[in-house]
Structure 1
Amino acid sequence: MLGKLTALGVAKLKAPGMYGDGGGLWLQVSGKGGKSWVFRYTLRGKSREMGLGPVSTFSLAEARDKALTCRKLCYEGIDPIEMRREQRQDAAVESAKAITFRTCADGYIEAHKAGWRNDKHAAQWTATLATYAYPVFGDLPVQAVDTSLVLKALEAIWSTKTETATRVRGRIESVLDWAATRGYRRGENPARWKGHLQNLLPKRSKVRKVEHHAALPFKDVPAFMRTLEGQPGIPAKLMIFTILTAARTGEALGARWDEIDLEAAIWSVPAERMKAGAEHRVPLSTAALAILAEMQGLDDIFVFPGSRRGKPLSNMAMLVLLRRMERAGLTVHGFRSTFRDWASETTHFPSEVVEMALAHTVESKVERAYRRGDLFEKRRDLMDAWATWCSQGAAR
């Protein structure tokens, strides 16, 4: 039966409870005297309640009209709650049409940069998107970004700069996911790889084979070091130090005096300068200490200063040196592979000691949990042995 309630009765009701009008329409009176309309219904065997608004805003007659609309939807098999949600989402997307992809990218970066390791990561995000994505759809509404636009941004570099293109694709996907979560766009993410772009672009492995950093055979290291020691300038000292410590190029370039304890013969690289985000202690051999002794007094901050005071050497300094030595086929990073090959083939040091010397993250979580130390003294023996190998036949 419909129409059980009257406007006067609705106004007079004070006792908390649910009062039916019929046809699924109910008046809900709360314990604090608040009154609102509720539509109750069952669809596909599932019972649901849908709020229709407060009595102060909607009269009994208006509530009945709302309930009638809901009953008609249910008759057609349409869930009123789901339909209202879709309508609100459509309205949100419509109002967000002025929000561009560039604006969303800025929002994503701002929201996540606090959790990134350093400011350089945020700068890389901005730079890659500005170079490859923004020219194509940066100023378009984020809702308008589709598969064809994403492909337009990626196809030009997918075969020539595959690693960069892969990063750009992932960053576009993250921005679009962020925009969808914020209600700025709807639909599938056109930048997702699995089940989508993988059907349109070749896999990285098919585009080009992975090129490893060129490494010098460890048997040739003593002769190379002998030649290197005859080279003038700070870049040669830096390269010797980098090789002796098996450090990454960036770690050695940015070495600071406040990281080095000459008395204890320890170089402590802070977490923010390490790839794994954890402090790395490097035991310094006598040969490495000798290089540091030669560098003292040149700069108060950086061990290997550049031409500008208070700045380290350029990251191109050692590459230029290799070209001058007519060894342009080598890379500085490749000497880490040389060090690993030497340790594996000529010594009995356990692999975990070698991996820790290279500041590699131990793969096994269980192994990491049980081994809390950094095997420092064993690594000191390893680095002393490496320095001895490097000096074979070299005049020191």
Structure 2
Amino acid sequence: MPATNRLTALSVRHAKDPGYYTDGRGLVLQVSAVGTKSWIFRYRFGSKRHEMGLGSCEFVSLSRARELEQDCRQLLSEGRNPLVERRQARATQIVARARQMTFDQCAAAYLKAHSSSWRNPKHAAQWSSTLATYATPVIGALPVDAIDTELVVKVLAPIWTTKTETATRLRGRIESVLDWATVSKFRHGDNPARWRGHLDFLLANPNKVAPVKNHPALPWLHMSAFMADLRRKEGVSARALEFTILTAARSGETRGAGWGEVNLPQRLWTVPAARMKAGREHRVPLSDAAIALLRGLPGRDGLLFPGQKSQPLSDMSLSAVLRRMGRPDITVHGFRSTFRDWSAGGARECLSARGL
């Protein structure tokens, strides 16, 4: 049997002349012409001879080189080629690294896949801003598969009681990104950002931390005086606010309304599904006051209430009308609440007062 362990740590350190120095069982120290030293494993597989590098002596000691040689011998005893096995292992690692994505990369991919279906560009901007502000500093650079419950709580806890509404939206957005990553096979297992049966045991109920507040609304009994004051105001924004109130519409629905959606003879305004929050077409009957308002508008094409350069009014233009009227105590959206209050109780009171 060939002698083994011929080399010593001292002999390896002092080897200077270029050439090959055998340790035994195929392990060889190679000294190059420029003096660099490395380990080689020589073996036969089938009918062919092979040489396999085991690393530089600068990083691989003699004892470690012998361990690597033993590993190779074990593979040979199992009928496996050490060189082929190493190439396959490296290929697997390359694929794994290529598939590994950070949370921020997954968030960007999720936004790219879904933002085109969101009607309001502002929504996509809010998504990106919220994640960048609160999630990125904590988990943004981490592999998405490494994100666990502890890390999600670390993101949410600092703002859970101080910015509860933002925190709850952030939690939902993190959950969506992690769901996307799971379906895309960049992570596995349960979603650590899920609420029911998971985070609800670790974080306070957001409805109890910060009860939802309704938009400030004008009592319906004050509407008559308010509308009289509003009709004295001039400008496109004032008319848009008046139309919003008369139709109980959302501000965005009014600002994006076009003449092609209005049928004056049928007294009907049809808001297409693409512009509705619920994604369904909405048909709004027009009252006498709404018809009179529309008939008083200039033009019969484009937007009902065009802003500068025939673009839609900004989302603050209607609120600005309220400020100019000295009514910072109410909001545009609050008029929908006023309408509901009138529908639920106001109409009944009017009928009762008339003995009906």
TM-score, normalised with respect to structure 1: 0.59
Equivalent position of 1:252 in the other structure: 254
- Whole-angstrom distance in 2 between the partners of 1:232 and 1:295: 12
Note closer, same or farther for the CA distance 1:311–1:188 as it changes in structure 2 (3 Å cut). Answer: same
**1:117, distance to aligned residue in structure 2 (A):** 4.8
Aligned amino acid, residue 225 of structure 1:
M
Query: For 1:319-366, what per-residue CA distance to the aligned partner results, in whole angstroms no more than 9, with x for missing partners?
Result: 222122221111111111211222222436xxxxxxxxxxxxxxxxxx
Equivalent position of 1:239 in the other structure: 241
Matches within 5 A, 1:256-335: 256-297=258-299, 300-306=301-307, 308-335=308-335
- Whole-angstrom distance in 2 between the partners of 1:261 and 1:304: 16
Verify the 8 A CA contact 1:271 1:280 in the aligned structure 2: yes
Verify the 8 A CA contact 1:109 1:122 in the aligned structure 2: yes
1:154 aligned onto 2:156: yes
Verify the 8 A CA contact 2:171 2:193 in the aligned structure 1: yes
Matches within 5 A, 1:102-117: 102-113=104-115, 116-117=117-118
Matches within 5 A, 1:348-367: none
**1:270, distance to aligned residue in structure 2 (A):** 0.7
- Whole-angstrom distance in 1 between the partners of 2:246 and 2:106: 46
Query: For 1:198-235, what per-residue CA distance to the aligned partner results, in whole angstroms no more than 9, with x for missing partners?
Result: 23221111211110121211111111111111222222
Query: For 1:90-148, what per-residue CA distance to the aligned partner results, in whole angstroms no more than 9, with x for missing partners?
Result: 9799535742112222333344456x453635444333323322233222221232334
Matches within 5 A, 1:55-204: 94-95=96-97, 98-113=100-115, 116-118=117-119, 120=121, 121-204=123-206
Aligned-partner SS, 1:309: helix
Aligned amino acid, residue 99 of structure 1:
M
Note closer, same or farther for the CA distance 1:293–1:184 as it changes in structure 2 (3 Å cut). Answer: same
- Whole-angstrom distance in 2 between the partners of 1:129 and 1:93: 28
Equivalent position of 2:69 in the other structure: none
- Whole-angstrom distance in 1 between the partners of 2:120 and 2:345: 40
**1:314, distance to aligned residue in structure 2 (A):** 1.4
Aligned amino acid, residue 315 of structure 2:
N
Verify the 8 A CA contact 1:93 1:183 in the aligned structure 2: no
Aligned-partner SS, 2:310: coil
Identify which range, 120-129 or 230-239, moves more after superposition: 120-129
Verify the 8 A CA contact 2:118 2:124 in the aligned structure 1: no
- Whole-angstrom distance in 2 between the partners of 1:237 and 1:260: 16
**Larger CA Rg, structure 1 vs 2:** 2
Aligned-partner SS, 1:267: strand
Verify the 8 A CA contact 1:93 1:143 in the aligned structure 2: no
- Whole-angstrom distance in 2 between the partners of 1:235 and 1:113: 29
Equivalent position of 1:374 in the other structure: none
Matches within 5 A, 1:213-224: 213-224=215-226
Stretches of structure 2 lacking an aligned partner (at least 5 in a row): 1-74, 80-88, 352-356
Aligned amino acid, residue 137 of structure 1:
I
Verify the 8 A CA contact 2:220 2:346 in the aligned structure 1: no
- Whole-angstrom distance in 1 between the partners of 2:95 and 2:120: 32
Aligned amino acid, residue 304 of structure 1:
F
- Whole-angstrom distance in 2 between the partners of 1:198 and 1:93: 37
Stretches of structure 1 lacking an aligned partner (at least 5 in a row): 1-61, 67-86, 349-384, 386-396
Aligned-partner SS, 1:295: coil
Equivalent position of 2:208 in the other structure: 206
Query: For 1:230-262, what per-residue CA distance to the aligned partner results, in whole angstroms no more than 9, with x for missing partners?
Result: 222222211111111111111112111221122
Equivalent position of 1:347 in the other structure: 347
Aligned amino acid, residue 230 of structure 1:
R
Quote the RMSD (CA, aligned, Å).
3.0
Note closer, same or farther for the CA distance 1:202–1:217 as it changes in structure 2 (3 Å cut). Answer: same
Q: How many residues align?
A: 262
Aligned amino acid, residue 118 of structure 1:
R
- Whole-angstrom distance in 1 between the partners of 2:345 and 2:188: 57
